[in-house]
Amino acid sequence: GRFDLSDIPPAPRGMPQIEVSFDIDANGILNVSAQDKATGKEQSIVIKASSGLSDEEIEKMVKDAEANAESDQKFEELVQARNTADGLAHAARKTLDEAGDKATDEEKESIEAAIKAVEEAVAGDDKEAIDAAAATLSEASAGLAQKMYAEQAQQAEGAAAEETADSDSGEDVVDAEFEEVDDTEGK
C-alpha cells in the first residue's frame, strides 16, 4: 500500500518532525501511521495479507528475522551514522555561511575539507569511517561555533548594559519603608 502525508507546510531541512509507527498484530495485519508533530496532521493505512499465512510460513519468517537480526542492526547503525554525519555537515555549512568574514581562511579551509570528507564517507558503507569523519568535522567546526557564540554573547551583554544605562538616567528612584496594617482587628 501507499499513502501520502500531505498538507505539511514547507520548512527548512531538519525542522519537520514526523512520527511514523509500524504495528503488526497477531493476524499479520500491518498498521502504519505517520503524524506531523507541528500540525498534528495524521495519515494511516492498514495492510492485510490477501491470504492467511500457514503456521510453517510464520515460523520460517520468524527464523529469517532472527537470522538477519544482526545484519539489520548493523544496517540501522550505518543509516543512523549517515544521517547524523549528513546533518552535521549541513549544520557546519550553515554555520560557515553565517560566519562569513568572521571565519579565518584557515578555519574555512579546515571545515570545508572536513565537510568534503564527511560527504565522501557517507557515500560509502564503512560506519567507522563515517563516525571518524563526523568527529573530525565536529572538532573543526567547534572553534568557529564557540567564537560566534562568544561574539553574540558579547553583543547581547553590550546591548543589555546600554539598555540599563539608558533606563537609569531618566528616572528618580525613591526607597521607602512601609508597614502592613490589618484593618479587620478593630471591627
Mean pLDDT of 153-166: 70
Q: Burial-class residue 64 by CB neighbours within 10 Å (0-12, 13-18, 19+).
A: exposed
Over residues 11-40, the mean pLDDT reads 84
Query: For 29-48, what is the mean pLDDT?
Result: 85
Q: What percent of the chain has pLDDT over 70?
A: 87
Cell numbers at residue 37, please?
Answer: 508533530
Could you tell me which residues come within 8 angstroms of residue 50 by beta carbon, excluding any fewer than 6 positions away?
A: none
Q: Say if CB 123 and CB 145 are below 8 A apart.
A: no
Closest CA to 106 of 148, 144, 149, 135: 144
**Domains of the chain, with CATH numbers?**
1-50 (2.60.34.10), 71-158 (1.20.1270.10)
Does residue 81 contact residue 131 with C-beta atoms inside 8 Å?
yes
pLDDT at position 25: 85
> pLDDT band at residue 169, thresholds of 50, 70 and 90?
low
**Mean pLDDT estimate for the chain:** 82
Q: Taking 80 as the threshold, does the pLDDT of residue 132 lie above it?
A: yes
Rg of the Cα trace of the chain? 29
**Residue with more model confidence, 80 or 160:** 80
**Residue-level pLDDT at 155:** 78
Which three three-digit cell numbers place residue 30? 500491518
Range 13-30 average pLDDT: 83
